[in-house]
Structure 1
Amino acid sequence: MDILFTPNALIALLTLTFLEIILGIDNIVFLSIVSGKLKAEDQPKARRVGLLLAMVFRIILLFGITWVLSLQDTIFSIDLGSIFEAHVTGQSLIIFGGGLFLLYKSVSEIHHKLEGEEESTSGKASNSIAQAIIQIALLNIVFSFDSILTAVGMVSMKEPAQGGFGYEGALLIMILAVVISIVIMMIFAGPVSKFVNEHPTIQILGLSFLILIGVMLLAEGSHLAHFRFGNDVEVTSIPKGYLYFSIFFSLFVEFLNLRMKKSRNAVKLRNNKIVDAKLKDDDLMN
């Protein structure tokens, strides 16, 4: 506990908490879109369960950090000479599979919202909360691995005499950062979800972000598996900074659009539970 109150530990805690919140944005977007398909009374429960699962998965993985790091070992290799080569690890399989799932889910949601058939909410709401929680749990596993690997890379587990925080000190810092970030995300998850579900363009933008994150996970999984094509072409990971800069810039532009132009003929997405009052008035007048 004495290590926790040193300036270096406090800086590491604040930095890691901020990073966990940034990395959790994709989780909140996914939660907002999945929970938006539920009944209004079930949406807060789905968000709370989803974020609690995220916290539990991260803490479990932190206590099993030795096992997480052991997933870097090669499970099997593929060698096709100068055509293709790969050394698949447990981490690469989990992250690559998560990327595929995120791509499939995002593209399916965009197709359903723009071209899908209208569905009555009564026929689907009885079992959709269980399906939503399962989807959230599956993706939380992938997000948790990515988050924990980033945290381990930031907080040194070396002994204090060697400039680190020690194993117990580093573990305490990472757990506190996870808990604080999840609590902050719980506070803002409701308003963020409401804002996303009230604005169709934000929903499509959020799904587009999830496609970008899915591609990033595919690239990262391929990098961890050391995918190599030919003699010199090896797959590298996509820097997260570029990705999150594009996300924040796109959101900034969209916020400006929402403030400067309020269209009366807004696009109405399929399965959107919140109906614009102006559109209702227009329908009654016509």
Structure 2
Amino acid sequence: MDTLETLVLDPNAWAALATLIAMEVVLGIDNLLFISILTNKLPAAHRENARRIGIGLALILRLVLLATVSTIVKMTTPLVTFFDHGFSWRDLILVAGGLFLVWKSTREIHHHIAGGDEHDAPADSGSAAQAGFVAAIGQILVLDLVFSVDSIITAVGMTEHIPIMFAAVIVAVTVMLFAAGPLANFIARNPTIVMLALGFLLVIGMTLIADGFGTHVPKGYIYGAMAFSALVEGLNMMSRRARAKRAASRASSRAS
């Protein structure tokens, strides 16, 4: 209790908490994009539950990992050596998660280019819908593990106070919970955003693989490129809507 009181009265602790929350929210964007794209493929009646379960699993997983933070930190110790490079458990998890993300993103991109219908599974398809729901949760859990391990190891480097880490994770995942629905709906209303988001996930997957092999790519470059691409796509969306309004106005004028 004395430790908690000391942290509450310490301005440095509040600064660390704010920084860590911001970092966790930014790192959570990757996971949120993946969850949104994956759950939008499910029947409408299952999407909200899948998002809640996926984000709930992310919270539970991160809190469990934080409870074993001393073990997580040891995961950076080299375990095996390939091509004169030592791989730790963290590296192996990042490489495996990156490969999974690259495979999943590539598969989804091919699905969209081939003209597959995201909503071809009926809401009452029974066992097929249930199997799709379970598969989606399983894939979300795999990426939750990868992003959780990486974000917690990063958090350990920013503060040594476990209560601050717990608070930051809870706040960040709560933000994800409230943002998941609007983000998924926005993606569903704007199909071109899906391809952009899949491109982001493909880049993130390659970054995870590079990080696992010891080549660290600063996250600022990646998120900067993502923000710029999103800005350009936003301008394209505004342009398309303006053209559609002008076309509708001209059609209305001719009809009258």
Q: Which residue of 2 aligns with 1:16?
A: 20
* 1:149 and 2:153 correspond: yes
Distance in 2 (CA, whole Å) between partners of 1:27 and 1:126 is 22
Shift in Å, 1:185: 1.3
* Uncovered stretches (5+) of structure 1, i.e. residues with no partner: 79-83, 158-169, 224-235, 265-277, 279-286
Amino acid at match of 1:2: E
- Residue 72 of structure 1: SS of its match in structure 2? coil
Alignment of structure 1 residues 144-223 onto 2, 5 Å: 144-155=148-159, 157=160, 170-223=161-214
Amino acid at match of 1:43: R
Greater displacement, 120-129 / 248-257: 120-129
The answer to whether the 8 Å contact 2:90/2:150 transfers is no
- Residue 261 of structure 1: SS of its match in structure 2? helix
Calculate the TM-score normalised by the size of structure 1: 0.79
Q: Which residue of 1 aligns with 2:56?
A: 52
Q: Which residue of 2 aligns with 1:240?
A: 219
Alignment of structure 1 residues 58-207 onto 2, 5 Å: 58-78=62-82, 84-118=83-117, 120-122=120-122, 124-155=128-159, 157=160, 170-207=161-198
The answer to whether the 8 Å contact 2:95/2:208 transfers is yes
Distance in 1 (CA, whole Å) between partners of 2:100 and 2:192 is 23
Q: Which residue of 2 aligns with 1:164?
A: none
- Alignment length, in residue pairs? 235
Distance in 2 (CA, whole Å) between partners of 1:55 and 1:15 is 19
* 1:2 and 2:1 correspond: no
Amino acid at match of 1:17: I
Distance in 2 (CA, whole Å) between partners of 1:205 and 1:9 is 37
Amino acid at match of 1:4: L
Which structure's residues are more often helix, by fraction?
2
Which of the numbers 225, 235, 252 marks the counterpart of 1:256?
235
Distance in 2 (CA, whole Å) between partners of 1:73 and 1:15 is 26
- Residue 42 of structure 1: SS of its match in structure 2? helix
Distance in 2 (CA, whole Å) between partners of 1:126 and 1:145 is 29
Calculate the TM-score normalised by the size of structure 2: 0.88
Shift in Å, 1:188: 1.3
Deviation string, structure 1 residues 46-88 (Cα, Å, up to 9, x no partner)? 111111111111111111111111112222223xxxxx32212
Alignment of structure 1 residues 27-42 onto 2, 5 Å: 27-42=31-46
* Uncovered stretches (5+) of structure 2, i.e. residues with no partner: 249-256
The answer to whether the 8 Å contact 2:87/2:212 transfers is no
Shift in Å, 1:117: 4.5
RMSD: 1.6
Deviation string, structure 1 residues 176-232 (Cα, Å, up to 9, x no partner)? 000011111111110011001111110000000000100110011000xxxxxxxxx
Amino acid at match of 1:130: V
Identity %: 40
Shift in Å, 1:116: 5.0
